[in-house]
């Protein structure tokens, strides 16, 4: 790695301030600010949230890896990759019938598919973490990891139910990050709970001009 990048990385790891007796790094602070901006763009249905998601996710990969939250760390790489897909979808995506990609609801079948996907992914991720990592919270780490995979798909396809999925993910994540002493990120995910609700309400107002879901 080039020396300037090494120097930047070492600076990002330095404490920015202390919160409840635990030092919060510049890395965590920058990731938090970008994540907040990202959600703000998502609520407003602006595609610029996706490139912010890429940068924020890469920063959080480094942060979570240092905290042995390997499920969440791996999830950030997935987020960064899928953000490219989401960005393309929001710019040029269409529904199966050829109509423009607008906010829509899942069908009843789609809702059951979401529940089933979460139920299958959670134990799979937990077993993977138990087998291949030294995490001390495999099931707790696995839950937001698994459910976020589903939420990211729903967000990329503009299904309003993504906000309910994020509401669950963010609530569980608050406890997880507090347990790990990542207090700034804990505050971020506490804010995410409220922002998820605001996103749900904002997208409900757009449904009058959206095409019904077809999943």
- The answer to whether position 17 is within a domain reads no
- The answer to whether position 67 is within a domain reads yes
- The answer to whether position 14 is within a domain reads no
- The answer to whether position 84 is within a domain reads yes
Contact, 27 vs 63, CB < 8 A? Answer: yes
Say how far apart CA 159 and CA 212 lie, in whole Å.
9
Tokens representing residue 168 in the block: 């669950």
Q: What is the pLDDT along the chain (215 residues), one digit of tens a residue?
A: 566 666 766 667 676 656 666 667 788 888 888 989 999 999 988 999 999 989 988 888 988 887 778 877 887 888 888 888 889 989 888 887 778 888 999 999 999 999 999 999 999 999 998 988 888 889 998 999 899 999 999 999 999 999 999 999 999 999 998 998 888 889 889 999 999 999 999 999 988 665 454 45
Taking the model in full, what pTM does it have? 0.80
- The answer to whether position 48 is within a domain reads yes
Domain count, the chain: 1
C-alpha 119: how far from chain center: 18
- The answer to whether position 18 is within a domain reads no
Bridge partners of residue 15, in order along the sequence: 25
Other Cβ atoms less than 10 A from the Cβ of 184: the count is: 20
Q: Which domain holds residue 162?
A: 25-94+103-209
- The answer to whether position 214 is within a domain reads no
Residue 21 is classified by DSSP as T
- Between the alpha carbon of residue 140 and those of residues 69, 94, 158, the distances in Å are 10, 36, 27
- The answer to whether position 5 is within a domain reads no
């Amino acid at each position: 790695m080039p020396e300037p990048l090494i120097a930047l990385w070492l600076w990002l790891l330095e404490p920015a301030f202390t919160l409840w007796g635990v030092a919060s790094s510049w890395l965590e602070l920058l990731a938090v600010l970008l994540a907040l901006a990202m959600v703000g763009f998502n609520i407003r249905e602006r595609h610029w949230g996706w490139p912010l998601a890429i940068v924020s996710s890469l920063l959080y990969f480094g942060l979570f890896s240092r905290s042995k939250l390997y499920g969440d760390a791996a999830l950030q790489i997935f987020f960064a990759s899928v953000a490219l897909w989401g960005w393309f979808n929001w710019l040029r995506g269409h529904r199966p019938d050829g109509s423009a990609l607008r906010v829509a609801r899942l069908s009843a079948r789609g809702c059951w598919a979401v529940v089933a996907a979460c139920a299958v992914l959670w134990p799979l991720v937990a077993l993977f973490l138990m087998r291949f990592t030294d995490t001390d919270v495999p099931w707790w780490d696995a839950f937001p990891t698994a459910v976020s995979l589903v939420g990211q798909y729903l967000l990329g396809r503009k299904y309003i139910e993504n906000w309910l999925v994020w509401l669950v993910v963010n609530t569980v994540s608050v406890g997880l990050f507090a347990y790990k002493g990542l207090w700034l990120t804990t505050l971020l995910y506490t804010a995410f709970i409220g922002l998820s609700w605001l996103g749900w309400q904002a997208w409900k107002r757009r449904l009058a001009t959206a095409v019904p879901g077809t999943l």
